[in-house]
Amino acid sequence: MKIVLAEKVSPATLAVFAAEPGWEVLTHDQLPNGLPAALADADALVVRSAVQVDDALMEHAPKLRVIGRAGVGVDNIDAEAATRRGVVVMNTPGANAVAVAELTIGLMLALARKLPTANNTMHAGKWEKKSLQGAELRGKTLGILGLGRIGLEVARRARGFGLEIIGSDPFVSAAVARENGIRLVALDEVIASSDYITLHVGLTPQTAGVINAKSLALMKKGVRIINCARGELVDEAALVAALKSGHVGGAALDVFTVEPPKDSPYAEFDNVILTPHIAGSTAEAQEAVGIQIAMQVREYLKLGVVQNAVNLPSLSHEEYVQLAPYIDLAGRLGSFLAQAGKSGIEAIDITYAGALVDAKTDLVRNAAIEGLLQGSENVNRINAAAIAQERGIRVHEEKEESHRGGAATVLTIHLHTAAGRSHATATVIHGEQPRLLEFDGIDIEAPLEGNLLVCRNLDVPGVIGKIGTILGEQGVNIANFALGRERSGEKPVKALAVVQVDAPVSGAVLDALMTIEALLEAKLVQLQ
């Protein structure tokens, strides 16, 4: 085996490969003819974030079997190109979870005890003891948004401080939360009840700007906010306004929408702690990331064991080409249900019919789960099933030879949630166009792409016209308008409209639609 370590790694990382008899290992400083030449007969490539592993680079690596990313993000790796070439792409999610959790707790303590101000005044030769009275964490309520690996690590440590811990995450079962001392609640309760709020969610259309003027207004006066996740989760202007008014008692920010931030509006506040995206930057975390990716790559090369892959290693190019439209369909249908269906997933049932019965459906299944868990951290098409299991979500699959509708090959997803059941069926037409066929018992044919307004209403005259009128008044252009009806016996009872529009609509547009008396629900679903 030949392993190319294209960027600097720790001696412990190198030792994992060096211990294998007969393996050739080239480090970043042993590539006299450049990386492309070194990859000509390489089996594995390990990178961090600097090397761009695109299709052109992979063209020089005909024997390459696996790319290991020592870290979480894989923006520098063309995973789709790797999949087409049959190359496994692995990353190391969770390796820095303890580091991030520890900084989060440290920032909470620093806010509570005004440590930065105390340090600054002492260095300035001042003794400001009276003005630096702090507060204890004991007895306060900590709200955690996002209960993935990092969120759970924060909770485990926070318990030792006597905090009451509440959390919100639609992708974690109540049992997992309970085992970690967390009371699972709705997002609104976390916002309204917490003395400290810490963010540990991925960036999605649903989580972007989750801390905004509206949510800030609902928070307790004096609330403190910690963000070690993504800068885009916080509406900067809204937080600054809340800090100026005194409604927010303090904030600790390790991440920013633009990094490094320029002319930060937070610089004027003594009660805001700013750190330069260092949550995962510990010697131990970097060491752990390197060792973990080395072990994953080694196990794959020796035993074929795949861990933390971001693509599918087991399909031939021909199989991948045939299955690709249905992989895409599954992701879209899962994402549709995640946004339009009920929240609080407890179990997932996936049914395949037609040509999918004889296909290798692991990636189809995982794409569906990935779509359903799109707001969860570090979920991808390979680790999706494992993450579902980790979060106490049961996944069941079954195959049936035919479907009651006219489509030959269809995919159906049934969700069992805390709020009830929800299900949808879809197919691919003309080999590339994803189509919704049914949603919660109502037959409908609608595109599964772009921006969709999903409206449920009583089946009475005038609703369609009012929807069109309001969208027109709001300057929203309709690209497609699909309708379906639910019947009780022979009499229509409820109806469903899936309206494809040219651009995402604002909350104000949804509010305007909800003024229609017969409209029961209006949701925006965003699909690629």
Report whether pLDDT(313) > 60.
no
* pLDDT at residue 204, as a whole number: 80
Write out the DSSP string of 202-271: ---TTTTT-BSHHHHHHSPTTEEEEE-S-GGGB-HHHHHHHHHHTSEEEEEES--SSSS-SS-GGGG-TT
What's the rounded mean pLDDT across residues 250-271?
93
What's the rounded mean pLDDT across residues 475-480?
95
Residues 6+ apart with CB under 8 A from 515: 470
* pLDDT at residue 154, as a whole number: 97
Q: Is the pTM of this model over 0.75?
A: no
Report whether pLDDT(516) > 90.
yes
Report whether pLDDT(490) > 70.
no
Beta bridge partners of 422: 415
Instruction: Assign domain 2-94+286-313 one CATH number from 3.40.30.10, 3.40.50.720, 3.20.20.70, 3.30.365.10.
Output: 3.40.50.720
Report whether pLDDT(403) > 70.
no
Range with the poorest average pLDDT among 20-34, 59-73, 392-406: 392-406
What's the rounded mean pLDDT across residues 473-478?
95
The span from the CA of 480 to the CA of 498, in Å, is: 8
Between the two ends of the chain, the Cα-to-Cα distance in Å is 39
Going 247 to 252 to 257 to 261, the CA torsion angle's sign is: positive
- CA count, 13 A, side-chain hemisphere, 271: 20
Three-state SS letters, 304-370: CCCCCECCCCCCCHHHHHHHHHHHHHHHHHHHHHHHHCCCCEEEEEEEEEHHHHHCCCHHHHHHHHH
CA angle centred on 102, ends 289 and 244, rounded to 5°? 120
* pLDDT at residue 319, as a whole number: 76
- How do 519-526 and 451-458 pair as beta strands? antiparallel
Find tokens 């042993």 and name the residue.
Answer: 30
Write out the DSSP string of 409-464: SEEEEEEEETTEEEEEEEEEETTTEEEEEEETTEEEEEE-SSEEEEEEEES-TTHH
What's the rounded mean pLDDT across residues 38-67?
95
* pLDDT at residue 170, as a whole number: 85
In words, the CATH class of domain 97-274 is alpha beta
Which helix (H) or strand (E) covers residue 15, if one does?
helix 11-18
315/233: higher pLDDT: 233
Q: What is the mean pLDDT of the chain?
A: 91
Say yes or no: do domains 2-94+286-313 and 97-274 share a fold.
yes
Q: Which tokens hold the place of 59?
A: 């063209």
Find tokens 């190109």 and name the residue.
Answer: 81
* pLDDT at residue 402, as a whole number: 64
* pLDDT at residue 108, as a whole number: 97
DSSP state of 69: E
The span from the CA of 75 to the CA of 258, in Å, is: 17
* pLDDT at residue 110, as a whole number: 97
Residue-wise pLDDT tens digits, 412-441: 999 998 888 999 999 999 888 999 999 999
Report whether pLDDT(116) > 90.
yes
- Whether 277 is catalytic is yes
What's the rounded mean pLDDT across residues 183-208?
92
Nearest CA-CA partner of 266 in 287, 225, 300, 237: 237
What's the rounded mean pLDDT across residues 268-272?
94
Arch. (CATH architecture) of 447-528: 2-Layer Sandwich (3.30)
357/316: higher pLDDT: 357
The percentage of the chain sitting over the pLDDT mark of 70, rounded to a whole number, equals 96
Report whether pLDDT(13) > 70.
yes
Which helix (H) or strand (E) covers residue 193, if one does?
helix 187-193
The percentage of the chain sitting over the pLDDT mark of 90, rounded to a whole number, equals 70
204/28: higher pLDDT: 28
Arch. (CATH architecture) of 315-440: 2-Layer Sandwich (3.30)
- Whether 423 is catalytic is no
- CA count, 13 A, side-chain hemisphere, 396: 8
* pLDDT at residue 304, as a whole number: 78
* pLDDT at residue 405, as a whole number: 54
Active-site pick, 65, 149, 230, 298: 230
- Whether 390 is catalytic is no
Report whether pLDDT(491) > 70.
no
The structural domains of the chain, with segments of one domain joined by +, span 2-94+286-313, 97-274, 315-440, 447-528
- How do 451-458 and 24-26 pair as beta strands? unpaired
The span from the CA of 291 to the CA of 71, in Å, is: 11
* pLDDT at residue 382, as a whole number: 65
The span from the CA of 476 to the CA of 467, in Å, is: 11
